A and B are shown apart, each in its own frame.
Chain A
Amino acid sequence: DVKVTQSSRYLVKRTGEKVFLECVQDMDHENMFWYRQDPGLGLRLIYFSYDVKMKEKGDIPEGYSVSREKKERFSLILESASTNQTSMYLCASSYFRQGTSGANVLTFGAGSRLTVL
């Protein structure tokens, strides 16, 4: 089974702190994603990456950055955490290759619940 591992399940940070959320997948997937999930708003795509060192903005990239230096690892960075970034953050990966047929089936990690005070 594909495993997507998020290093921190629960974090509490203070406003203005720099926050790193780490995600590792073990099945050589091409694509990796960061979503946030909030009650009433559902899943919203922050950033995704379809290759090492490549990144693409999702629907809500403001206040976030990402890094993908190795294929299996995708990091989400909050340069200066704010209270409105308190949320559940979900990392996902998929094998889907651009330009091919087939469904982009995502495998998710267990999530990182971030509280910013």
Chain B
Amino acid sequence: QKEVEQDPGPLSVPEGAIVSLNCTYSNSAFQYFMWYRQYSRKGPELLMYTYSSGNKEDGRFTAQVDKSSKYISLFIRDSQPSDSATYLCAIVSGGGADGLTFGKGTHLIIQP
């Protein structure tokens, strides 16, 4: 079963707030977990990816994976108006080149 659930939002927060974006998935075979950011009228760009449970940090961004709960999160600290975008989780089940399932994306708005 290829299914990834993601709240579409919009999620609106004030500048400087901590943002939490989440996805749940149903297939325990999923191996790699990614976050893409998509600005309006642009293609998605890879933000972060990880393959293990736990946290991975990159600047103001932290990706968290809980395989036992089948739950992944992206945290953004000190959010900026430039972080306003749609964030898509993507989960890889391995196997063929098509073994990638995207969430529908969460639209995030950071209010100045």
A residues adjacent to B (C-beta < 8 A): 4, 30-31, 33, 40-43, 45, 48, 50, 56, 58, 90, 92, 94, 96, 98, 103-111, 113
- Which of B55-63, B69-77, B101-109 lies at the binding interface? B101-109
Q: Which of A43, A96, A105 contacts B46 (CB 8 A)?
A: A105
Taking CB atoms and an 8 Å cut-off, the chain B residues in 30-67 that contact chain A are 31-32, 34, 36, 41-46, 49, 51
The answer to the question of B13 belonging to the interface, with a C-beta cut-off of 8 Å to chain A, is no
B residues adjacent to A (C-beta < 8 A): 8, 31-32, 34, 36, 41-46, 49, 51, 88, 90, 92, 95-100, 102-105
B97 pairs with A98, CB closer than 8 A: yes
What is the CA–CA distance of A84 and B102 in the complex, to the nearest angstrom?
22
A103 pairs with B51, CB closer than 8 A: yes
Which chain A residue has the least Cβ–Cβ distance from B98?
Answer: A48
A/B pair count, beta carbons within 8 Å = 64
With a CB–CB cut-off of 8 A, which chain A residues contact B31? Answer: 103
What is the CA–CA distance of A106 and B42 in the complex, to the nearest angstrom?
15
What is the CA–CA distance of A92 and B31 in the complex, to the nearest angstrom?
21
B88 pairs with A42, CB closer than 8 A: yes
Which chain A residue has the least Cβ–Cβ distance from B49?
Answer: A103
A96 pairs with B43, CB closer than 8 A: no
With a CB–CB cut-off of 8 A, which chain A residues contact B41? Answer: 110-111, 113
Q: A103-B92, A105-B46, A109-B43 are in contact. List 17 more A-B contacts (CB 8 A).
A: A31-B97, A42-B105, A48-B97, A48-B98, A56-B98, A90-B44, A103-B31, A103-B34, A104-B32, A104-B97, A105-B34, A105-B49, A106-B44, A106-B46, A106-B90, A108-B43, A108-B44
